[in-house]
Chain A
Amino acid sequence: MVVISVRDKRRERGHAVVELAFVWSFLWLLATGVYQFGNAFYVYSRLETAASNAAMLASRLNYDVSDSGASFKTKVKNMAVYGDPNGGTTPLAPNLTTANVDVNPIPSSFPTGVTVTIQNYTITNLFHDITLTNKPRVTVAYMGSVVCSGC
Protein backbone atom coordinates (compact mmCIF):
# COMPACT_ATOMS: atom_id res chain seq x y z
CA MET A 1 0.00 0.00 0.00
CA VAL A 2 1.04 3.57 -0.55
CA VAL A 3 1.65 5.36 2.71
CA ILE A 4 0.69 9.02 2.65
CA SER A 5 1.63 11.00 5.67
CA VAL A 6 -0.72 13.33 7.54
CA ARG A 7 1.47 16.26 6.44
CA ASP A 8 1.05 15.24 2.80
CA LYS A 9 -2.71 15.02 3.25
CA ARG A 10 -2.83 18.51 4.79
CA ARG A 11 -0.63 19.82 1.97
CA GLU A 12 -2.97 18.30 -0.62
CA ARG A 13 -6.00 19.76 1.12
CA GLY A 14 -4.30 23.16 1.06
CA HIS A 15 -3.60 22.79 -2.62
CA ALA A 16 -7.21 21.81 -3.20
CA VAL A 17 -8.47 24.87 -1.35
CA VAL A 18 -6.21 27.16 -3.37
CA GLU A 19 -7.22 25.45 -6.61
CA LEU A 20 -10.87 25.67 -5.65
CA ALA A 21 -10.48 29.39 -4.94
CA PHE A 22 -8.85 29.95 -8.33
CA VAL A 23 -11.30 27.80 -10.22
CA TRP A 24 -14.29 29.25 -8.38
CA SER A 25 -13.10 32.82 -9.06
CA PHE A 26 -12.60 31.99 -12.70
CA LEU A 27 -16.00 30.36 -13.02
CA TRP A 28 -17.63 33.29 -11.20
CA LEU A 29 -16.01 35.78 -13.53
CA LEU A 30 -17.04 33.68 -16.49
CA ALA A 31 -20.64 33.33 -15.33
CA THR A 32 -21.04 37.00 -14.51
CA GLY A 33 -19.38 37.97 -17.79
CA VAL A 34 -21.75 35.74 -19.71
CA TYR A 35 -24.67 37.31 -17.85
CA GLN A 36 -23.38 40.84 -18.40
CA PHE A 37 -22.91 40.47 -22.14
CA GLY A 38 -25.96 38.28 -22.64
CA ASN A 39 -28.21 40.71 -20.80
CA ALA A 40 -26.73 43.73 -22.60
CA PHE A 41 -27.24 42.19 -26.03
CA TYR A 42 -30.74 41.05 -25.12
CA VAL A 43 -31.80 44.50 -23.92
CA TYR A 44 -30.19 46.20 -26.94
CA SER A 45 -32.03 43.86 -29.27
CA ARG A 46 -35.31 44.71 -27.50
CA LEU A 47 -34.58 48.43 -27.88
CA GLU A 48 -33.77 48.00 -31.58
CA THR A 49 -37.08 46.26 -32.19
CA ALA A 50 -38.95 48.88 -30.14
CA ALA A 51 -37.37 51.74 -32.11
CA SER A 52 -38.06 49.99 -35.42
CA ASN A 53 -41.73 49.38 -34.61
CA ALA A 54 -42.15 52.97 -33.44
CA ALA A 55 -40.53 54.25 -36.64
CA MET A 56 -42.86 52.13 -38.74
CA LEU A 57 -45.83 53.63 -36.93
CA ALA A 58 -44.39 57.12 -37.40
CA SER A 59 -44.10 56.63 -41.16
CA ARG A 60 -47.90 56.41 -41.45
CA LEU A 61 -49.19 58.49 -38.53
CA ASN A 62 -50.99 61.78 -39.17
CA TYR A 63 -48.73 64.75 -38.43
CA ASP A 64 -50.68 67.64 -36.89
CA VAL A 65 -49.04 71.00 -37.64
CA SER A 66 -51.38 72.82 -35.24
CA ASP A 67 -49.48 71.41 -32.24
CA SER A 68 -46.14 71.32 -34.08
CA GLY A 69 -46.22 67.54 -34.08
CA ALA A 70 -46.44 67.19 -30.28
CA SER A 71 -49.27 64.62 -30.34
CA PHE A 72 -47.45 62.79 -33.15
CA LYS A 73 -44.30 62.56 -31.04
CA THR A 74 -46.20 61.41 -27.96
CA LYS A 75 -47.80 58.53 -29.84
CA VAL A 76 -44.50 57.45 -31.38
CA LYS A 77 -42.76 57.59 -28.00
CA ASN A 78 -45.52 55.53 -26.41
CA MET A 79 -45.16 53.00 -29.21
CA ALA A 80 -41.42 52.72 -28.56
CA VAL A 81 -41.79 52.37 -24.79
CA TYR A 82 -45.02 50.39 -24.41
CA GLY A 83 -45.67 48.96 -27.86
CA ASP A 84 -48.92 50.96 -27.88
CA PRO A 85 -49.38 54.52 -29.23
CA ASN A 86 -51.91 55.19 -26.46
CA GLY A 87 -49.43 54.39 -23.69
CA GLY A 88 -49.26 51.63 -21.12
CA THR A 89 -47.79 50.59 -17.81
CA THR A 90 -45.12 48.00 -18.59
CA PRO A 91 -42.17 49.19 -20.69
CA LEU A 92 -40.73 46.89 -23.34
CA ALA A 93 -37.25 47.20 -21.79
CA PRO A 94 -36.40 47.63 -18.08
CA ASN A 95 -36.73 51.25 -16.89
CA LEU A 96 -37.34 52.54 -20.41
CA THR A 97 -39.34 55.78 -20.32
CA THR A 98 -40.58 58.21 -22.95
CA ALA A 99 -37.75 60.53 -21.87
CA ASN A 100 -35.38 57.97 -23.39
CA VAL A 101 -37.01 58.28 -26.82
CA ASP A 102 -36.32 61.12 -29.25
CA VAL A 103 -38.62 61.54 -32.25
CA ASN A 104 -37.22 63.79 -34.94
CA PRO A 105 -39.38 64.65 -37.98
CA ILE A 106 -37.15 65.76 -40.87
CA PRO A 107 -37.84 68.62 -41.48
CA SER A 108 -40.22 69.56 -38.67
CA SER A 109 -42.58 71.66 -40.84
CA PHE A 110 -43.65 69.12 -43.48
CA PRO A 111 -41.64 65.97 -42.75
CA THR A 112 -40.28 63.67 -45.43
CA GLY A 113 -38.58 61.40 -42.91
CA VAL A 114 -38.65 60.52 -39.22
CA THR A 115 -35.82 59.29 -37.00
CA VAL A 116 -36.59 57.48 -33.74
CA THR A 117 -33.60 57.40 -31.37
CA ILE A 118 -33.14 55.77 -27.98
CA GLN A 119 -31.08 58.22 -25.98
CA ASN A 120 -29.33 58.09 -22.62
CA TYR A 121 -30.69 54.68 -21.77
CA THR A 122 -28.72 52.71 -19.17
CA ILE A 123 -28.58 48.93 -19.30
CA THR A 124 -28.39 47.88 -15.67
CA ASN A 125 -26.00 45.03 -15.02
CA LEU A 126 -24.54 43.28 -11.97
CA PHE A 127 -21.25 45.15 -11.89
CA HIS A 128 -20.98 47.53 -14.80
CA ASP A 129 -23.89 49.52 -16.19
CA ILE A 130 -23.81 50.46 -19.88
CA THR A 131 -25.24 53.79 -21.03
CA LEU A 132 -26.29 53.98 -24.67
CA THR A 133 -25.83 57.34 -26.39
CA ASN A 134 -28.17 57.93 -29.33
CA LYS A 135 -28.54 54.28 -30.22
CA PRO A 136 -30.30 52.30 -31.42
CA ARG A 137 -31.92 54.61 -33.94
CA VAL A 138 -34.11 53.97 -36.97
CA THR A 139 -34.96 56.34 -39.84
CA VAL A 140 -37.98 55.87 -42.09
CA ALA A 141 -39.54 57.82 -44.95
CA TYR A 142 -42.60 59.76 -43.82
CA MET A 143 -45.70 58.79 -45.79
CA GLY A 144 -48.50 59.90 -43.50
CA SER A 145 -50.87 62.84 -43.89
CA VAL A 146 -50.02 66.32 -42.68
CA VAL A 147 -53.17 67.66 -41.04
CA CYS A 148 -54.16 70.74 -39.07
CA SER A 149 -56.75 70.00 -36.39
CA GLY A 150 -56.74 73.58 -35.15
CA CYS A 151 -57.09 75.27 -38.53
Chain B
Amino acid sequence: MGGRPMPDDTRRLHHPGARQIAAGQSRNAERGFSVVMVAVMANVMLAGVGLAVDIGRTFVVHSELQAFSDAAALAAVRDLDGTRTGIQNAHTLATQGPLGTSSPNGINFASTQVTTATDTYATGFAATYDSYATATTSSTNQYRFVKVVASASLPLYFLRVLPGVTSPVTLQSSATAGQQAQTPNFSNGGLVPFSADAHNTTAANEFGFTRGSDYTLRWGNGNTTTCGGDSGFNPGNVPSQHGPVDLGQGTGESNLGSAIQYGGYPNASSTPSSVGVGTSLLTPPGNRGNALVDSLASRSNQDPDQTDTTWDTYKAALAAGTANGRRVVTAPILDPATYSGTGSNVNGTVIGFANFLLAPATTVSAAGNSGPICATYIGPGSLDGSSGGTNGASIYVSMLFQ
Protein backbone atom coordinates (compact mmCIF):
# COMPACT_ATOMS: atom_id res chain seq x y z
CA MET B 1 0.00 0.00 0.00
CA GLY B 2 2.94 2.44 0.62
CA GLY B 3 5.77 3.23 -1.71
CA ARG B 4 4.52 4.84 -4.86
CA PRO B 5 1.71 7.33 -4.28
CA MET B 6 -1.59 6.03 -5.40
CA PRO B 7 -3.74 8.17 -7.67
CA ASP B 8 -6.69 7.61 -5.41
CA ASP B 9 -7.11 10.50 -2.96
CA THR B 10 -8.81 8.31 -0.40
CA ARG B 11 -5.78 6.15 -0.27
CA ARG B 12 -3.49 9.16 0.10
CA LEU B 13 -5.49 10.43 3.06
CA HIS B 14 -4.48 7.32 4.97
CA HIS B 15 -0.94 8.67 5.02
CA PRO B 16 -0.67 10.75 8.21
CA GLY B 17 1.71 13.31 6.75
CA ALA B 18 -0.47 13.94 3.80
CA ARG B 19 -3.54 15.21 5.68
CA GLN B 20 -2.81 18.98 5.44
CA ILE B 21 -1.68 18.70 1.84
CA ALA B 22 -4.77 16.73 0.89
CA ALA B 23 -7.03 19.30 2.50
CA GLY B 24 -5.31 22.09 0.56
CA GLN B 25 -5.59 20.14 -2.66
CA SER B 26 -9.26 19.58 -1.96
CA ARG B 27 -9.75 23.32 -1.58
CA ASN B 28 -7.84 23.91 -4.84
CA ALA B 29 -10.03 21.31 -6.54
CA GLU B 30 -13.15 23.06 -5.24
CA ARG B 31 -11.83 26.39 -6.51
CA GLY B 32 -11.21 24.82 -9.89
CA PHE B 33 -14.69 23.45 -9.89
CA SER B 34 -16.06 26.88 -8.96
CA VAL B 35 -14.19 28.48 -11.85
CA VAL B 36 -15.74 26.01 -14.25
CA MET B 37 -19.17 26.54 -12.72
CA VAL B 38 -18.79 30.31 -12.88
CA ALA B 39 -17.74 30.07 -16.53
CA VAL B 40 -20.69 27.85 -17.38
CA MET B 41 -23.17 29.91 -15.39
CA ALA B 42 -21.82 33.16 -16.85
CA ASN B 43 -22.58 31.85 -20.31
CA VAL B 44 -26.01 30.72 -19.20
CA MET B 45 -26.70 34.12 -17.66
CA LEU B 46 -25.39 35.95 -20.71
CA ALA B 47 -27.66 33.81 -22.82
CA GLY B 48 -30.55 34.85 -20.56
CA VAL B 49 -29.62 38.51 -20.84
CA GLY B 50 -29.09 38.08 -24.56
CA LEU B 51 -32.54 36.60 -24.98
CA ALA B 52 -34.06 39.59 -23.24
CA VAL B 53 -31.95 42.35 -24.79
CA ASP B 54 -30.69 41.12 -28.15
CA ILE B 55 -33.75 39.12 -29.12
CA GLY B 56 -35.98 41.93 -27.84
CA ARG B 57 -34.14 44.46 -30.03
CA THR B 58 -34.32 42.04 -32.92
CA PHE B 59 -38.11 41.84 -32.64
CA VAL B 60 -38.44 45.62 -32.41
CA VAL B 61 -36.20 46.32 -35.43
CA HIS B 62 -37.91 43.61 -37.45
CA SER B 63 -41.32 45.16 -36.68
CA GLU B 64 -39.99 48.54 -37.79
CA LEU B 65 -38.54 47.07 -40.97
CA GLN B 66 -41.88 45.45 -41.77
CA ALA B 67 -43.69 48.75 -41.24
CA PHE B 68 -41.21 50.42 -43.61
CA SER B 69 -41.67 47.74 -46.28
CA ASP B 70 -45.47 47.79 -46.07
CA ALA B 71 -45.70 51.58 -46.31
CA ALA B 72 -43.07 51.79 -49.07
CA ALA B 73 -44.69 49.11 -51.24
CA LEU B 74 -48.15 50.63 -50.83
CA ALA B 75 -46.90 54.10 -51.72
CA ALA B 76 -44.93 52.87 -54.71
CA VAL B 77 -47.57 50.71 -56.35
CA ARG B 78 -49.93 53.53 -57.25
CA ASP B 79 -47.25 55.13 -59.40
CA LEU B 80 -47.19 52.15 -61.76
CA ASP B 81 -48.97 53.60 -64.78
CA GLY B 82 -47.41 51.57 -67.58
CA THR B 83 -44.60 54.03 -68.25
CA ARG B 84 -40.89 54.18 -67.47
CA THR B 85 -41.31 57.36 -65.43
CA GLY B 86 -43.99 55.56 -63.42
CA ILE B 87 -41.44 52.91 -62.47
CA GLN B 88 -38.87 55.59 -61.67
CA ASN B 89 -41.29 57.40 -59.36
CA ALA B 90 -42.25 54.10 -57.75
CA HIS B 91 -38.57 53.29 -57.22
CA THR B 92 -38.04 56.48 -55.25
CA LEU B 93 -40.95 55.70 -52.94
CA ALA B 94 -40.06 52.02 -52.64
CA THR B 95 -36.55 52.77 -51.46
CA GLN B 96 -37.27 55.86 -49.34
CA GLY B 97 -40.81 55.28 -48.12
CA PRO B 98 -43.84 57.56 -48.47
CA LEU B 99 -43.25 61.30 -48.54
CA GLY B 100 -39.59 60.62 -49.32
CA THR B 101 -37.06 61.35 -46.63
CA SER B 102 -39.20 63.96 -44.90
CA SER B 103 -41.04 61.42 -42.77
CA PRO B 104 -39.01 58.23 -42.86
CA ASN B 105 -40.25 55.10 -41.18
CA GLY B 106 -37.00 54.64 -39.29
CA ILE B 107 -35.63 51.61 -37.50
CA ASN B 108 -33.71 51.06 -34.26
CA PHE B 109 -36.39 52.86 -32.24
CA ALA B 110 -37.13 55.27 -35.10
CA SER B 111 -33.60 56.65 -34.93
CA THR B 112 -32.08 55.31 -38.14
CA GLN B 113 -33.25 55.67 -41.73
CA VAL B 114 -33.60 52.53 -43.81
CA THR B 115 -31.03 52.68 -46.60
CA THR B 116 -30.97 49.13 -47.89
CA ALA B 117 -34.29 48.55 -49.65
CA THR B 118 -34.57 46.90 -53.04
CA ASP B 119 -37.60 46.91 -55.33
CA THR B 120 -38.71 44.45 -57.99
CA TYR B 121 -41.69 44.60 -60.36
CA ALA B 122 -44.14 42.10 -61.86
CA THR B 123 -47.24 42.06 -64.06
CA GLY B 124 -49.04 39.68 -61.67
CA PHE B 125 -48.67 38.64 -58.05
CA ALA B 126 -47.35 35.17 -58.94
CA ALA B 127 -45.43 36.35 -62.01
CA THR B 128 -41.67 36.80 -62.26
CA TYR B 129 -40.39 39.87 -60.46
CA ASP B 130 -37.95 41.94 -62.50
CA SER B 131 -35.24 44.15 -61.05
CA TYR B 132 -35.55 47.92 -61.24
CA ALA B 133 -32.90 47.99 -63.97
CA THR B 134 -34.83 45.46 -66.06
CA ALA B 135 -38.17 47.13 -65.40
CA THR B 136 -36.94 50.45 -66.74
CA THR B 137 -35.43 49.14 -69.98
CA SER B 138 -38.66 49.69 -71.92
CA SER B 139 -40.53 52.99 -72.20
CA THR B 140 -43.86 51.19 -71.67
CA ASN B 141 -44.79 48.21 -69.52
CA GLN B 142 -47.67 46.46 -67.78
CA TYR B 143 -46.22 46.20 -64.28
CA ARG B 144 -48.89 46.32 -61.58
CA PHE B 145 -47.06 44.72 -58.64
CA VAL B 146 -44.05 45.86 -56.65
CA LYS B 147 -42.13 43.95 -54.01
CA VAL B 148 -40.00 45.84 -51.50
CA VAL B 149 -37.33 44.01 -49.52
CA ALA B 150 -35.71 46.00 -46.73
CA SER B 151 -32.80 44.81 -44.65
CA ALA B 152 -30.80 46.05 -41.70
CA SER B 153 -27.65 44.92 -39.90
CA LEU B 154 -28.10 44.61 -36.14
CA PRO B 155 -25.13 44.05 -33.78
CA LEU B 156 -25.70 41.66 -30.90
CA TYR B 157 -24.36 42.79 -27.55
CA PHE B 158 -24.67 39.64 -25.44
CA LEU B 159 -25.52 36.64 -27.58
CA ARG B 160 -22.28 37.09 -29.53
CA VAL B 161 -20.30 35.53 -26.66
CA LEU B 162 -22.07 32.24 -27.20
CA PRO B 163 -20.38 29.76 -29.52
CA GLY B 164 -21.91 29.59 -32.97
CA VAL B 165 -23.62 32.99 -32.74
CA THR B 166 -22.31 35.58 -35.17
CA SER B 167 -22.75 39.32 -34.90
CA PRO B 168 -24.08 41.44 -36.50
CA VAL B 169 -27.16 39.65 -37.76
CA THR B 170 -28.99 40.71 -40.92
CA LEU B 171 -32.73 41.28 -40.53
CA GLN B 172 -34.99 41.35 -43.55
CA SER B 173 -38.62 42.11 -44.28
CA SER B 174 -40.58 42.15 -47.50
CA ALA B 175 -43.93 43.44 -48.69
CA THR B 176 -45.74 43.06 -52.00
CA ALA B 177 -48.36 45.54 -53.15
CA GLY B 178 -50.41 45.43 -56.31
CA GLN B 179 -53.19 47.07 -58.25
CA GLN B 180 -56.13 44.73 -57.89
CA ALA B 181 -59.17 44.91 -60.17
CA GLN B 182 -62.22 45.26 -57.94
CA THR B 183 -65.45 43.33 -58.16
CA PRO B 184 -67.59 44.32 -61.15
CA ASN B 185 -69.89 46.56 -59.13
CA PHE B 186 -68.45 49.58 -57.45
CA SER B 187 -70.06 51.26 -54.46
CA ASN B 188 -67.61 53.12 -52.28
CA GLY B 189 -68.26 56.59 -53.56
CA GLY B 190 -65.11 57.40 -55.48
CA LEU B 191 -66.63 58.33 -58.84
CA VAL B 192 -67.41 61.73 -60.36
CA PRO B 193 -70.88 62.15 -61.88
CA PHE B 194 -69.62 62.50 -65.44
CA SER B 195 -69.22 60.03 -68.23
CA ALA B 196 -67.34 59.79 -71.51
CA ASP B 197 -68.52 58.16 -74.73
CA ALA B 198 -66.57 55.04 -75.70
CA HIS B 199 -65.05 54.99 -79.17
CA ASN B 200 -64.62 51.25 -78.94
CA THR B 201 -66.79 49.06 -76.74
CA THR B 202 -63.97 46.64 -75.90
CA ALA B 203 -62.79 47.51 -72.41
CA ALA B 204 -59.53 45.62 -72.93
CA ASN B 205 -58.74 48.11 -75.69
CA GLU B 206 -59.25 51.01 -73.30
CA PHE B 207 -62.46 51.95 -75.18
CA GLY B 208 -60.44 53.19 -78.14
CA PHE B 209 -59.04 56.05 -76.07
CA THR B 210 -55.45 57.23 -76.39
CA ARG B 211 -53.58 58.04 -73.21
CA GLY B 212 -52.69 61.69 -73.06
CA SER B 213 -55.52 62.81 -75.36
CA ASP B 214 -58.46 64.95 -74.24
CA TYR B 215 -62.00 63.57 -74.20
CA THR B 216 -65.35 65.19 -73.54
CA LEU B 217 -66.94 64.96 -70.06
CA ARG B 218 -69.77 67.27 -71.08
CA TRP B 219 -70.58 67.94 -74.68
CA GLY B 220 -71.37 71.44 -75.89
CA ASN B 221 -74.62 72.76 -77.24
CA GLY B 222 -75.74 70.56 -80.12
CA ASN B 223 -73.20 67.93 -79.03
CA THR B 224 -70.20 69.85 -80.26
CA THR B 225 -66.75 69.48 -78.78
CA THR B 226 -63.25 70.89 -79.01
CA CYS B 227 -61.61 68.05 -77.10
CA GLY B 228 -58.83 66.64 -79.29
CA GLY B 229 -59.45 62.95 -78.66
CA ASP B 230 -63.09 63.27 -79.76
CA SER B 231 -62.22 65.17 -82.91
CA GLY B 232 -64.13 63.52 -85.75
CA PHE B 233 -66.01 61.24 -83.38
CA ASN B 234 -69.79 61.25 -83.77
CA PRO B 235 -71.57 60.09 -80.62
CA GLY B 236 -74.71 59.44 -82.64
CA ASN B 237 -78.26 60.18 -81.66
CA VAL B 238 -77.62 61.28 -78.09
CA PRO B 239 -79.02 64.10 -75.95
CA SER B 240 -77.50 67.55 -76.41
CA GLN B 241 -74.88 68.52 -73.82
CA HIS B 242 -74.84 64.99 -72.45
CA GLY B 243 -72.10 63.80 -70.11
CA PRO B 244 -73.26 64.31 -66.49
CA VAL B 245 -74.76 61.14 -64.99
CA ASP B 246 -76.84 60.39 -61.92
CA LEU B 247 -74.80 58.13 -59.65
CA GLY B 248 -77.46 58.40 -56.98
CA GLN B 249 -76.89 62.01 -56.02
CA GLY B 250 -79.85 63.25 -58.08
CA THR B 251 -79.93 65.76 -60.90
CA GLY B 252 -80.35 68.96 -58.89
CA GLU B 253 -77.58 71.52 -59.15
CA SER B 254 -76.69 71.44 -55.46
CA ASN B 255 -76.41 67.65 -55.18
CA LEU B 256 -74.59 67.43 -58.49
CA GLY B 257 -72.14 70.10 -57.39
CA SER B 258 -71.42 68.36 -54.08
CA ALA B 259 -70.85 65.01 -55.81
CA ILE B 260 -68.46 66.65 -58.26
CA GLN B 261 -66.39 68.23 -55.52
CA TYR B 262 -66.37 65.41 -52.95
CA GLY B 263 -67.71 62.24 -54.57
CA GLY B 264 -69.73 60.10 -52.21
CA TYR B 265 -71.80 58.29 -54.84
CA PRO B 266 -72.90 55.64 -55.39
CA ASN B 267 -73.21 54.40 -51.82
CA ALA B 268 -75.25 51.88 -49.83
CA SER B 269 -78.24 54.20 -49.43
CA SER B 270 -78.28 55.77 -52.90
CA THR B 271 -80.09 54.66 -56.06
CA PRO B 272 -78.25 53.07 -57.73
CA SER B 273 -76.33 51.67 -54.75
CA SER B 274 -73.55 50.38 -56.97
CA VAL B 275 -72.29 50.84 -60.52
CA GLY B 276 -70.71 48.24 -62.74
CA VAL B 277 -70.58 47.04 -66.32
CA GLY B 278 -74.15 46.82 -67.53
CA THR B 279 -75.58 49.40 -65.13
CA SER B 280 -77.98 51.81 -66.81
CA LEU B 281 -77.35 55.41 -65.70
CA LEU B 282 -79.58 58.43 -66.12
CA THR B 283 -77.84 61.04 -68.28
CA PRO B 284 -79.75 64.26 -67.73
CA PRO B 285 -79.35 66.57 -70.70
CA GLY B 286 -78.90 70.33 -70.49
CA ASN B 287 -76.18 72.52 -69.07
CA ARG B 288 -77.31 72.35 -65.40
CA GLY B 289 -76.55 76.05 -65.01
CA ASN B 290 -73.38 77.51 -63.60
CA ALA B 291 -73.34 74.98 -60.76
CA LEU B 292 -71.88 72.23 -62.88
CA VAL B 293 -68.93 74.05 -64.36
CA ASP B 294 -68.30 76.02 -61.16
CA SER B 295 -68.25 72.84 -59.10
CA LEU B 296 -65.86 71.14 -61.49
CA ALA B 297 -63.60 74.19 -61.37
CA SER B 298 -63.75 74.04 -57.55
CA ARG B 299 -62.80 70.37 -57.68
CA SER B 300 -59.82 71.21 -59.86
CA ASN B 301 -58.92 74.06 -57.54
CA GLN B 302 -58.67 71.66 -54.58
CA ASP B 303 -55.34 70.72 -56.11
CA PRO B 304 -52.44 73.11 -55.49
CA ASP B 305 -51.06 72.28 -58.95
CA GLN B 306 -52.80 74.63 -61.36
CA THR B 307 -50.10 74.72 -64.01
CA ASP B 308 -49.41 71.22 -65.31
CA THR B 309 -51.63 70.19 -68.20
CA THR B 310 -50.19 66.81 -69.22
CA TRP B 311 -50.16 63.58 -67.25
CA ASP B 312 -46.36 63.34 -67.48
CA THR B 313 -45.75 66.75 -65.92
CA TYR B 314 -48.60 66.35 -63.45
CA LYS B 315 -47.35 63.03 -62.10
CA ALA B 316 -43.92 64.61 -61.70
CA ALA B 317 -45.65 67.22 -59.54
CA LEU B 318 -47.33 64.40 -57.60
CA ALA B 319 -43.95 62.80 -57.00
CA ALA B 320 -42.51 66.13 -55.90
CA GLY B 321 -45.41 66.73 -53.51
CA THR B 322 -46.61 69.88 -55.29
CA ALA B 323 -49.84 68.22 -56.46
CA ASN B 324 -52.27 66.26 -54.31
CA GLY B 325 -54.17 64.17 -56.87
CA ARG B 326 -57.50 66.01 -56.62
CA ARG B 327 -57.44 66.75 -60.33
CA VAL B 328 -57.49 63.02 -61.07
CA VAL B 329 -61.04 61.67 -61.32
CA THR B 330 -62.59 58.30 -62.10
CA ALA B 331 -65.63 58.34 -64.40
CA PRO B 332 -67.88 55.68 -65.91
CA ILE B 333 -67.62 55.06 -69.65
CA LEU B 334 -70.89 54.71 -71.54
CA ASP B 335 -71.62 53.00 -74.82
CA PRO B 336 -73.22 55.76 -76.95
CA ALA B 337 -75.17 53.14 -78.90
CA THR B 338 -77.15 52.30 -75.77
CA TYR B 339 -78.64 55.74 -75.13
CA SER B 340 -82.41 55.44 -74.95
CA GLY B 341 -85.37 57.44 -73.71
CA THR B 342 -86.50 60.98 -74.25
CA GLY B 343 -86.38 64.34 -72.52
CA SER B 344 -84.98 64.13 -69.01
CA ASN B 345 -85.24 60.35 -68.93
CA VAL B 346 -82.39 59.36 -71.20
CA ASN B 347 -80.25 56.45 -70.00
CA GLY B 348 -76.94 55.00 -71.14
CA THR B 349 -75.21 51.74 -70.24
CA VAL B 350 -71.87 51.54 -68.43
CA ILE B 351 -69.20 49.46 -70.14
CA GLY B 352 -66.26 50.35 -67.89
CA PHE B 353 -64.35 53.05 -66.03
CA ALA B 354 -61.50 55.40 -66.83
CA ASN B 355 -59.30 57.95 -65.12
CA PHE B 356 -59.02 61.51 -66.34
CA LEU B 357 -56.89 64.49 -65.43
CA LEU B 358 -58.96 67.65 -65.02
CA ALA B 359 -57.66 70.85 -66.54
CA PRO B 360 -56.65 73.72 -64.24
CA ALA B 361 -59.62 75.55 -62.72
CA THR B 362 -59.43 78.58 -65.04
CA THR B 363 -59.53 76.34 -68.09
CA VAL B 364 -62.52 74.43 -66.73
CA SER B 365 -64.35 77.68 -65.97
CA ALA B 366 -63.74 78.91 -69.51
CA ALA B 367 -66.15 76.24 -70.78
CA GLY B 368 -69.00 78.32 -69.41
CA ASN B 369 -72.59 77.12 -69.35
CA SER B 370 -72.77 75.66 -72.79
CA GLY B 371 -69.23 74.82 -73.90
CA PRO B 372 -67.63 71.38 -73.90
CA ILE B 373 -65.63 70.26 -70.83
CA CYS B 374 -62.49 68.31 -71.67
CA ALA B 375 -60.27 66.09 -69.52
CA THR B 376 -57.12 64.12 -70.33
CA TYR B 377 -57.44 60.34 -70.45
CA ILE B 378 -54.88 58.68 -68.14
CA GLY B 379 -55.82 55.02 -68.24
CA PRO B 380 -58.29 52.43 -66.95
CA GLY B 381 -60.18 53.32 -63.81
CA SER B 382 -58.09 53.38 -60.66
CA LEU B 383 -58.92 54.96 -57.34
CA ASP B 384 -55.25 55.75 -56.84
CA GLY B 385 -54.50 57.95 -59.80
CA SER B 386 -53.03 55.63 -62.37
CA SER B 387 -52.87 52.02 -63.44
CA GLY B 388 -50.46 49.78 -65.26
CA GLY B 389 -53.41 47.62 -66.26
CA THR B 390 -55.22 47.81 -69.57
CA ASN B 391 -58.64 46.40 -68.70
CA GLY B 392 -61.16 49.18 -68.21
CA ALA B 393 -63.97 46.85 -67.17
CA SER B 394 -63.05 47.14 -63.49
CA ILE B 395 -61.59 49.70 -61.18
CA TYR B 396 -58.10 49.06 -59.88
CA VAL B 397 -57.30 49.63 -56.22
CA SER B 398 -53.80 49.55 -54.73
CA MET B 399 -53.44 47.16 -51.82
CA LEU B 400 -50.97 45.04 -49.92
CA PHE B 401 -50.87 41.43 -51.02
CA GLN B 402 -48.18 40.04 -48.73
Contact = CB atoms under 8 A, between A and B. Distances in A.
Minimum-distance CB pairs A-B, first 5: A41-B56, A38-B52, A141-B75, A148-B262, A52-B67
A28 interface: no
B211 interface: no
A131 interface: no
A12 to B, nearest CB: 11
B171 to A, nearest CB: 13
A141 B71 contact: yes
Given A33-B49, A34-B49, A44-B60, A148 B264 contact: yes
Interface string B50-72: 01110011011001101100110
A151 B326 CA distance: 17
A30 B48 contact: yes
Contacts of A145: 188-190, 263, 383
Interface stretch (B91-99, B139-147, B235-243, B338-346): B91-99
Nearest to B57: A41
Interface residues of A, number: 44
B15 interface: no
A89 to B, nearest CB: 25
Contact of A56 (B48, B64, B70, B383): B70
30 contacts: A2-B23, A30-B45, A33-B49, A33-B52, A34-B51, A35-B52, A37-B52, A37-B53, A38-B52, A41-B53, A42-B59, A44-B109, A48-B64, A55-B67, A62-B189, A110-B303, A110-B325, A112-B324, A113-B103, A115-B103, A135-B109, A135-B110, A137-B105, A139-B97, A139-B103, A141-B71, A143-B74, A143-B383, A145-B189, A146-B262
Contacts of B60: 41, 44-45, 48
A37 B321 contact: no
A141 B93 contact: yes
Given A33-B49, A48-B60, A52-B67, A148 B324 contact: no
B22 interface: yes
B151 interface: no
Interface of A: 1-2, 30, 33-35, 37-38, 40-42, 44-45, 48-49, 51-52, 55-56, 59, 62, 65, 106-107, 109-113, 115, 135-141, 143, 145-149, 151
Contacts of A148: 258, 261-262, 264
Contacts of B67: 48, 51-52, 55, 136, 138
Contacts of A48: 60, 63-64, 67
Contacts of B66: 52
Interface size range on B against A? 35 or more
Nearest to A38: B52
Contacts of A2: 19, 22-23
B315 interface: no
A59 B53 CA distance: 33
Contacts of B400: 56
Nearest to B254: A151
Given A42-B59, A113-B103, 5 more contacts: A38-B53, A112-B99, A138-B67, A146-B262, A147-B189
Contact of B262 (A65, A111, A136, A140): A65
A86 B296 CA distance: 34
A42 B99 CA distance: 29
A148 B249 CA distance: 13
A108 to B, nearest CB: 12
Given A48-B60, A148-B261, A110 B324 contact: yes
A49 B66 CA distance: 9
Contacts of B199: none
Nearest to B79: A141
Nearest to B384: A143
B225 interface: no
Contact of A147 (B49, B103, B264): B264
B302 interface: yes
A21 B384 CA distance: 66
Contacts of A149: 264
Nearest to B98: A141
B218 interface: no
A108 B53 CA distance: 39
Most buried by B among A1, A33, A143: A143
Contacts of A141: 71, 74-75, 78, 93, 98-99
B398 interface: yes
Contacts of B71: 52, 55, 138-141
A23 B118 CA distance: 50
Contact of B99 (A56, A109, A110, A139): A139
Given A34-B48, A34-B49, A42-B56, A147 B263 contact: yes
Contacts of A109: 302
